[in-house]
Amino acid sequence: MSLTLTGRRAAAAVLTAALLAPLAACGNDDTKKDTGGSPASGSGSAAPKANLTVLAAASLTSVFETAGAAYEKANPGTKITFSFAGSQELIAQVSQGSPADALVTADTKSMDKVKADTGAATVIAKNRLVIATGEGNPHKVDNLKDLADTKLKVVLAAPEVPAGKYSKQILDAQKITVKPVSQEPNVRAVLSKVELGEADAGLVYKTDAESARDKVDAVEIPDAQNAIAQYPAAALKGSKNAEATAAFVAWLSSPEAQKILQDAGFQKP
C-alpha cells in the first residue's frame, strides 16, 4: 500500500513539473523583453536610409558640409548631397522640375515663390550682414558710408539675390549710393572677390566672413542699420524619399543641428 502511494506522489510531481515548464519559459521571454530582448529603440528611431539631394543657399556652404557629415554619421546608410547656389538659382531649378529632395533658401520670399512645390517651411536660422574687407582692412573701412567712396572698389550681390536685396535695403535706408564694380550671382562670389583682392570691400553675411577670417576682416554694421536674413527649409513634394527627407528637414531644427549652425555664427531662428 505504501508503495502505491509513493508511486502516485512521484507521478503527481512529474505532472506538476511538466505544467510549470511552459510558464517558466513564458516568464523568461517577458524578462528578455523587459531587459532589452527587443530591438534597440535607437535603431528604430533612425531615419530611413536614402540618398538625398538638398538645394541650399550659397551662404550655407561651409556649415552644411559640417552638418551633412554629422547627419550621415548619426544615420548610417544615408548620403546627403548638397547643391549650393544663389536662392534665385535654386528657385529656378525647382520651378524647372530638377530632381531634388529638400530646399533651403536665404530668405522667405524666395521660398514663397515655390510654395506649391514644397511642404511647410520652417526657419532654421538667421543671419546678418557685415562689410568684408581685405585682411587688415587696408583701406580703413569703418562703416556703410565709406562704401560710397568712388575710389573704393566695392562688390555686391546682384539685386535678385537675397544678399543683394538685403544690401540694397540697408544702403537705401541710410541714403547711401554705392556704385559696385560688379554684382555677383551669390554671396560667396562676393566673398571670393574680396579674398582674391579683386575688390576692396563687399557686403556679405557674418557667417561668410567668419568662414574666411584668415583672409578677410569683418566690419560690423550696427543693428539699427542692418537687416536680418531668415533661412527657411522645406521638403520638396517631388521627392522620391519623402520620409527620409522629412526626417532631415526636422533634424535641422534639432539641438545638434542648431549647435552646428550657431557655432558657425548663425543666429537662433
DSSP readout, 67-83? HHHHHHHHSTT-EEEEE
Q: 26-30, 115-119, 171-175: which has the minimum mean pLDDT?
A: 26-30
If one compares 44 and 55, the residue with the highest pLDDT of the two is 55
| Residue ranges with strand state E in 211-255 | 216-220, 228-235
* Dihedral (CA of 83, 84, 85, 88) sign: positive
Q: Residue 133 contacts by C-beta under 8 Å, 6 or more apart in sequence? A: 139, 141, 194, 200, 201, 216, 217, 218, 219
Q: How confident is the model at residue 36 (pLDDT cuts 50, 70, 90)?
A: very low
Instruction: Over range 35-49, report the average pLDDT.
Output: 47
| pLDDT at residue 125 tops 70 | yes
- Equal fold, 46-126+231-263 vs 127-228: yes
Quote the CA–CA distance of 90 and 174 in Å, as a whole number.
30
**Residue 76, C-beta contacts closer than 8 angstroms, at least 6 positions apart:** 46, 49
Q: Are strands 102-104 and 51-57 parallel, antiparallel or unpaired?
A: parallel
User: In the Cβ-directed half-sphere of 215, how many Cα atoms lie within 13 Å?
Assistant: 13
The pLDDT value recorded for residue 45 is: 52
Give the dihedral sign, CA 33/35/40/44.
positive
Condensed to tens digits (0 to 9), the pLDDT of residues 251-262 reads: 999 999 999 999
pLDDT in tens, 142-154: 999 999 999 999 9
Q: What is the mean pLDDT of the chain?
A: 87
**Summary count for the chain: helices (H), strands (E):** 10, 9
| 35, pLDDT greater than 60 | no
Query: 46-126+231-263 has which CATH code?
Result: 3.40.190.10
| pLDDT, tens digit (0-9, with 9 covering 90-100), for 186-235 | 999 999 999 999 999 999 999 999 999 999 999 999 999 999 999 999 99
What pLDDT is stored for residue 4 in this prediction?
Answer: 43
Asked if residue 8 has pLDDT above 60, the reply is no
Q: Would you say residue 37 has pLDDT above 90?
A: no
Distances from the Cα of 160 to the Cα of 102, 105, 192, angstroms:
22, 13, 19
Who has greater pLDDT, 189 or 13?
189
Average pLDDT over residues 15-30: 40
Q: What is the pLDDT of residues 64-81, one digit of tens each?
A: 999 999 999 999 999 999
**Of residues 40 and 213, more confidently modeled:** 213
- Cα–Cα distance between 19 and 162 in angstroms, integer? 76
Grid coordinates representing 240 are: 522620391
For the structural domain made of 127-228, what CATH number should be given? 3.40.190.10
Element (DSSP H or E) covering residue 268: none
Q: Where are the domains of the chain?
A: 46-126+231-263, 127-228
Helix (H) or strand (E) holding 129: strand 122-134
pLDDT at position 47 is 75
Q: What percentage of the chain has pLDDT greater than the value 70?
A: 83
- Residue 27: predicted pLDDT: 40
170: pLDDT strictly greater than 80: yes
